[in-house]
Amino acid sequence: MRLQLEAEGRGPPRSLQDLSQRLKLARNSKKLLWEEIAGKLTDHFKCTFPPDKVARKWNTLVEAYKKVKDHNSSTGRGPGKFQFYTEMDDLMGGHHDIVFPVVGTAMGLDVRRPATTMPPANTPRRPRKRQREEDPFLRESEAASQAAAQKRHAETLAQMKEAQEGLQSMLGQMVEKM
């Protein structure tokens, strides 16, 4: 594999920047690249690193970086934390080209669509519902219900006023006795 990469004039990646560029550009040789990286990690740390796990770890790091980057660009939220944010920001060049259409949050799902598919702000998103014809019986029932609620409210206020006056008179008598 190393011979193939060297035959292409590329060789193993020299830096993380080179790795990032190759991952963005080279679609067919990614498998070879992951095998080369896994081999280097195995040699360096003296333990086995399977290429598929190395690739998964890298993709997990990229996803975490993109989520934090997206979270930090949203207004009204505190900054997100990610242990390798500065390193990944350097690698990704400060740009991430994927916008998650749906993001799960503690508040539920946050659905995001590209601005090109959103209708203009001055047009309604849904047609208005058709007004139903009002039933005279329902209108009378609602009016009677509102009148009864107002009557109960007035009675409650009168009771509270009586209780307040009684309490004030009791407090006045207590103050006079002292």
- Specify the DSSP class assigned to residue 115: G
Q: What is the pTM of this model?
A: 0.43
Q: Which domain holds residue 50?
A: 2-117
The yes-or-no verdict on residue 2 having pLDDT over 60 is no
Count of residues making up the chain: 178
Q: Quick check: is 128 in a domain?
A: no
**Inter-CA distances, 14 with 20, 21, 23, 44, Å:** 11, 11, 13, 15
pLDDT in tens, 143-152: 899 999 999 9
77: closest CA among 98, 101, 102, 105? 105
Q: Quick check: is 160 in a domain?
A: yes
The yes-or-no verdict on residue 7 having pLDDT over 50 is no
Q: Quote the number of domains for the chain.
A: 2
CA atoms of 29 and 26, how far apart (whole Å): 6
- Tell me, yes or no, whether 147 and 113 share the same domain: no
User: First-to-last CA distance in the chain?
Assistant: 102
Per-residue confidence (pLDDT) for residue 177, from 0 to 100: 85
E-only strand ranges, the chain:
102-105, 108-111
- Tell me, yes or no, whether 94 and 178 share the same domain: no
Residue whose token pair is 């109960």: 152
- Tell me, yes or no, whether 88 and 159 share the same domain: no
- Better pLDDT: 132 or 139: 139
